Amino acid sequence: MIKAFKEKSIPVVAIVRKNEHVEELKSTYGLEHAINMTDEDFEDQLRVAAKETKATVALECIAGDMPGKILGAMGKGAICIVYGALSE
Domains plus CATH for the chain?
2-82 (3.40.50.720)
Average pLDDT of the residues in 16-34:
96
pLDDT confidence of residue 31: 95
pTM over 0.85, yes/no = yes
CA distance linking residue 16 with residue 38, whole number of Å: 8
End-to-end CA distance of the chain: 23
pLDDT in tens, 38-81: 999 999 999 999 999 999 999 998 888 999 999 999 989 999 99
pLDDT at 28 over 70: yes
Query: Which residues in 1-88 belong to E strands, given as ranges?
Result: 13-16, 33-36, 57-60, 79-82
Numbers of helices and strands, H then E, in the chain? 4, 4
Confidence of residue 88 (pLDDT cuts 50, 70, 90): low
**Distance between CA 86 and CA 88 in Å, rounded?**
5
Per the prediction, the chain carries an average pLDDT of 93
